[in-house]
Amino acid sequence: MLANLHLVSARTPDIPQKPAHQSIVNLNWDLNLMWNWATLEQRFFGNREGLRLSVARTEQKELCIKEINQARRFIQA
């Protein structure tokens, strides 16, 4: 099956870059359509407690936030 998939992909014409999307090579890794590192850094490191969510919290979310906050130094590095 994998060989057939490769054969089909080899026969398929090369599709150019999608309109309105940058190629990975030209992507600005600090600020792009999917994320802004400055905003994320402010939300995560801009207060003493670390990450805070303004949405309704469940026990699962609380555990995730606690685990992320415990790794703040590692994440920042």
| CA–CA dist 59, 22 (Å, integer) | 38
**What is the tens place of the pLDDT at every residue in 23-59?**
777 778 777 777 778 887 777 777 777 776 655 667 7
| CA–CA dist 36, 44 (Å, integer) | 12
CB atoms near residue 68 (< 10 Å): 13
| CA–CA dist 60, 58 (Å, integer) | 5
| CA–CA dist 56, 60 (Å, integer) | 11
pTM of the model: 0.36
